[in-house]
Amino acid sequence: MLLTLPHTGIRVSIARITFATAVAGMNKGNGIKPDYFIKSSFESIKQNVDKGMQYALELIKTTIY
């Protein structure tokens, strides 16, 4: 659903679709957890450093034969 805020005119998209998995034994209330957790700091965001991309590139380098 796409809304336009009345005072600012900012357009906001609100998701209205729910996706579900058919995986046995999965807790339905928690969603899918990532394999790797990446913590970004305020400083890295401020310096435009993409910690997720850095981690992904290092992971690729270490898993290539």
Per-residue pLDDT for 65 more than 70? no
Per residue in 2-21, pLDDT tens? 999 999 999 999 888 877 77
> What pLDDT score does 34 carry?
87
Per residue in 6-64, pLDDT tens? 999 999 998 888 777 777 887 777 777 888 999 989 999 899 999 999 999 999 999 87
User: Quick one: which H or E segment has residue 2?
Assistant: strand 2-4
63 DSSP assignment: H
12 vs 15: CA distance, rounded Å: 10
